[in-house]
Structure 1
Amino acid sequence: MTRIGILSEFDVSSSWARSTNLHHMVQAVASLCDAIVPYGPLQARGDRLRGALATASRRLRPEGRYSPHYSLRRGRRLAHSAREHFERDPTDLVLAPKGSAITAHLELPVPLVYESDATFALLEGYYPSATGLSARSARAAHELERRSFARASALVFHTRWAAESAIRDYGADPAKVHVIPIGANLDPRELPGPDALAQRSVEGPCRLLFVGVEWERKGGPQALAALDALTRKGIDAELTVVGCAPPPGVHHPRLRRARYLSKAVPTERRELMRLFSEATFLLVPTRAECFGCVFAEASAWGVPSLTTFTGGVPEVVEDGVNGFTLPLEATGEDFAERIARLLEDPARYAALVRTTRARYDAEFTWEVWAQRFGERVLAPLLGERSG
């Protein structure tokens, strides 16, 4: 009987988790073993105080701010808590998604698998949340990564972009580094079949869908500029924004706001699925992105993505297959030109819809992820028990 433990600072059974890739990953791992044992949500003594200090630091020192997540002392306390959980209910292997804060000081008598979409070396100066940290927090973040990568039995990353950083920036052993793209956070039973996909066309309004919780980082201004350029060309286009609100004063007669829609709430999930089903393109000209699960989700609906060549995105959106990546410096006019050319060629758009869905089926389902994780990670570490 194979049992796998899941280390997390979050409750993997919560309604919030059910709308994230953490929940889907746990379900995929569950299909490969006899039992899943959640070790968490893990907390360290003093977390509430550290959170208050971090809030004050953001207000008083936007540059050189303190981060409660990147703390060696907190890492030791999390590791102690994780070890206590394990000793109360041992498993054959432990998986730690994005768990460097937990695993850096964790010693276990069973294989430990670390999983993530990036390294701190990639995030620093790239993601707003990892920019402007104090020297102490940054040093701690790098040390947590280095120790975690050295301690893990296997390292699983979503992209080569992240995997290569683990090897290059932290000296991770290439033999234990694996690249396995995650799946889309969707219920396959809700996805369109071949007949529905065949009905997608460029007839009618060009419906652009922008999905993201950070307007600036996800390229909201560029998406809005693309909408403006399309309407100036006389193209009947509209842009629906999901997940965030444009800043006050940002208006356009063809801009639609759909607020944040949680997949954990049935009515909101259905609304999000409706928007995907009606979209002509997903338009997310992101400024910084590790993977971009929304591109995998759009692919599941046969919706081509228009985005930027940055971070791990080019490994998710393959030019001419499930969308196009434009240079990071591309303007709204550049995106509008690409969209206009596709709208002028219905046959090319129809073919793009088909290859978009085919890429999802081949690369971005959790069934595919589970198969790869089982073959590349569990089988070598657990042998016959992984079967």
Structure 2
Amino acid sequence: MFAALSDAIEVVPMSTADAGDAVVDRLAMRVLDGRGGRRVLAGHLAASSRRRGRLLAKRLRRTGARAVVGVAASQDLAHLGGQWSVTHVSDATFHLVQDFYPIYSSLQPWAARQGGLVERRAITRAQSVVTATEWARASVIDDYGKPPGRVHTIPFGPGCDLAGAARPAGDAGAPLRVLMVSSDWERKGGPRVLEVASLLRDQGVLIELTVVGDHPVLPPWVRGVGRVPHDDMPGYYATHDVLLELALANAAGVTLTDAAHAALPVVATHTGGTATIVLDEKTGLLVSPREDAVIREAVRALRRLDTDRSLLAAISVSARDHARTRLSWDGWAADVVALVGQVP
């Protein structure tokens, strides 16, 4: 992201928390977190946000900047004074992630209110808001009242350096090579993936499942490779037929973007901002995240791809084209720079 911006914008890390600031937040977390069984995110409290805003203002005065592009920096922007024009970039809002992601669940009511107010101040402070998905854009407009003309969806680019070739149709009798990338086993739907793969095996489908990343002890028929070097990920994307991601929560989904750049079709839950990254029936197949439907629909989707390898090949071509035209860091940077230039 920052490399793509660097030719047009001086990139200064937005996090203004120095070592002392970080210590204050950690101490606050230690004192407040967990009381009454509920959590406090000290970095999202008003006092922390005011401190970060003051530090950011000092830093900006030293740089002589006239405009600010804040990436996932609502805490820094909410209490930023001065006349700087602000473009706020995010993949979600506080309203969306509360009780959606585990870290934002079971918050103290007063802490949740402060987090929401910090988000609202940041969105109000910004002249323009850039969201990674239509899901996040709708929240900025509907939940925080930002005028639609001030909110723009510009999807993020990939997390890996990928340039995948589209997959040929292949042999319908060959095993279906399924990949799961697990940064968080439970949130990424690991148990769901195992159940789907097991059901397919019981139905006589030839399936080879590989799990990369965090995972528990796996059945002997699953290849679990644990965490791998970042540079090795393109090889895993290139040697599989489909990415299976049955996540409980997904804001933008970098693995889904990586898969598109690798021309790898996706079967994923329609949750969060997934539908901006995975175009249903074009670059992948989306299934319901509901517990009463997800397993059944995922099994059906994978069986469909297994029996119709020409569909798998067509989706691969569409995924590659979508990545090049819509999920590119160079395109993202060009759009953001153009947007900043329009802000008065």
**Correspondence 1:240-255 to 2 at 5 A:** 240-246=210-216, 250-255=217-222
Q: 1:52, 1:242 → 2: CA distance?
A: 35
2:50 equivalent to 1:79: no
Superposed, 1:102-121 pairs within 5 Å as 102-121=76-95
Using the size of structure 1 for normalisation, the TM-score is 0.82
- Cα 1:58–1:245 shift into 2, 3 Å: farther
Aligned to 1:380: 342
Query: What CA deviation, in whole Å up to 9, does each residue of 1:114-142 have, x standing for no partner?
Result: 10011111111211111100012101101
Are positions 1:192 and 2:164 aligned together? Answer: yes
Specify which of 313, 328, 339 is matched with residue 365 of structure 1: 328
Look up the match of 1:156.
Answer: 130
CA distance in 2, matches of 1:147, 1:344: 52
Q: How many angstroms does 1:166 deviate by?
A: 1.3
> What is the letter of the counterpart of residue 340 of structure 2?
L
TM-fit CA distance, 1:204 = 2.9
Partner of 1:21: none
Q: 1:333 to 1:254 in 2, by over 3 A?
A: farther
Give the count of matched residue pairs. Answer: 342
Q: How does the TM-score come out when normalised to structure 2?
A: 0.92
- Separation of aligned partners in 1, 2:54 and 2:31: 28
For 1:183, what is the secondary structure of its paired residue? Answer: coil
Q: Is the 8 A contact 2:182 2:215 kept in 1?
A: no
The alignment status of 1:347 with 2:322, answered yes or no, reads no
Aligned to 1:183: 157
When residues 201 and 271 of structure 1 are mapped into structure 2, their CA distance, relative to the original with a 3 A threshold, is: farther
**Pair 1:273–1:200, CA change in 2 (3 A):** farther
Q: Which whole-Å CA distance do the structure 2 matches of 1:58 and 1:146 have between them?
A: 23
Out of 288, 292, 316, the residue aligned to residue 277 of structure 2 is 316
CA gap of 1:302–1:200, structure 2 versus 1, over 3 A, is farther
In 2, Cα distance between the equivalents of 1:77 and 1:44? 13
Q: Which residue of 2 aligns with 1:216?
A: 186
Aligned equivalent of 1:257: 224
CA distance in 1 between counterparts of 2:152 and 2:297 reads: 36
Q: Deviations over 1:145-172 (max 9, x none)?
A: 1111111121111112111211211222
Residue correspondence of structure 1 range 83-102 to structure 2 within 5 A: 83-102=57-76
Partner of 2:259: 298
RMSD: 2.1
How far apart are residue 237 of structure 1 and its match?
1.4
Deviates more, 1:312-321 or 1:231-240: 231-240
Report SS of the residue matched to 2:11. Answer: strand
Residue deviations 1:12-63 (CA, integer Å, cap 9, x gap): xxxxxxxxxxxxx211222334x334455533855324324435655554x3
Q: Which runs of 5+ in 2 are unaligned?
A: none
Conserved? CA contact 1:44–1:74, under 8 Å:
no
Q: Measure, in 1, the Cα distance between the counterparts of 2:295 and 2:4.
A: 39
The answer as to whether partners of 1:225 and 1:333 remain within 8 angstroms in 2 is: no
Task: Give 4+ residue runs of structure 1 displaced > 6 Å after superposition.
Answer: none
Structure 1 window deviating more from structure 2 (64-73 vs 290-299): it is: 64-73
Structure 1 pair 135–44 and aligned structure 2 pair: CA distance change class (3 A): farther
**Partner in structure 1 of residue 3 of structure 2:** 27
Which whole-Å CA distance do the structure 1 matches of 2:173 and 2:33 have between them?
A: 48
The alpha-carbon distance between structure 1 residues 101 and 43, as it changes in their structure 2 partners (threshold 3 A), is farther
Q: Which amino acid aligns with 1:296?
A: T
Q: Who is 2:196 aligned against?
A: 226
Deviation at 1:173, TM superposition (A): 2.8
SS of structure 1 residue aligned to 2:87: strand
- CA drift at 1:238: 2.2
Query: Are 2:40 and 1:66 aligned?
Result: yes
CA distance in 2 between counterparts of 1:118 and 1:309 reads 16
Equivalent residues of 1:116, 1:157 under 8 A apart: yes
Residue 334 of structure 1 deviates from its aligned partner by 3.1
State, as a whole percentage, how many aligned pairs show the same letter: 27
Measured after TM superposition, the shift of residue 280 of structure 1 is 1.0
- Structure 1 unpaired stretches of 5+: 1-24, 262-267, 383-387
Render the CA deviation track for 1:155-210: whole Å, top value 9, x for unaligned: 111112111211211222323211111111222xx42345xx34766553222111
Match of 1:284 among 237, 240, 245: 245
Aligned residue identity for 1:228: S
Alignment match, 1:50? 25
Q: Measure, in 1, the Cα distance between the counterparts of 2:326 and 2:61.
A: 37
CA 1:358–1:203 in structure 2 vs 1: closer, same or farther (change >3 Å)?
Answer: farther
Quick one: distance in 2 between partners of 1:320 and 1:193? Answer: 20
**CA shift digits 1:86-130 (9 cap, x unpaired):** 112212311111111111110132211110011111111211111
